[in-house]
Amino acid sequence: MIKKCLYVNRRAPYGTSYALEAIDAVLIGAAFDQDISLLFIDDGVFQLKRDQDTTDVEIKNFSPAYRAFDMYDVEKLYVSEEAMAARGLKKRDLVVDVEVLSDSTIRDLMDEHDVIFTF
């Protein structure tokens, strides 16, 4: 049975391993043909910032992975409008095309999924 899975990302990249682990979990879910949506709220919106360059910190830059998601049929990416505004981010600052949702819409989005994984 295909379940509707929502992966909620709420941490900044690199400071902790949550963001990278979420990517791994999403790709595993995709391999099992689950119906996947990704949501970025709180500091999670920083994961999608374009122009990340980790050369000088010697950590792998995993932000290109977000652009590869559509090859795994992971095409539903949502971000919180309020989280973006609080952090001075605009849609054009992001590395992938996303749907910007208000927090009240996000409440419904969470409601309509069968499973929610939060990272």
Partner 1 sequence: MSILHTVNKSPFEKNNLESCLRYAKAGSAVLLIEDGIYAALTGTTFEAKVMTAMEALDFYCLAPDMKARGFTSTKMIDGIKLVDYAGFVDLTLEYDKVQAWL
Point out which residues bind partner 1 (CB under 8 A): 11-16, 42-43, 46, 49-57, 59, 61, 63, 86-88, 93
Nearer to partner 1, 26 or 41 (CB): 41
Nearer to partner 1, 36 or 69 (CB): 69
- Complete DSSP assignment for 36-62: EEEEE-GGGGGGGBTT---GGGT----
Nearer to partner 1, 36 or 106 (CB): 106
- Nearest distance from residue 92's CB to partner 1, in Å? 13
Q: State the DSSP code for 94.
A: B
- Nearest distance from residue 48's CB to partner 1, in Å? 9
Instruction: State how far the Cα of 46 lies from the Cα of 3, in Å rounded to an integer.
Output: 28
Nearer to partner 1, 59 or 115 (CB): 59
The answer to whether the CB of 116 falls within 8 A of the CB of 6 is: yes
The answer to whether the CB of 7 falls within 8 A of the CB of 26 is: yes
- Nearest distance from residue 21's CB to partner 1, in Å? 16
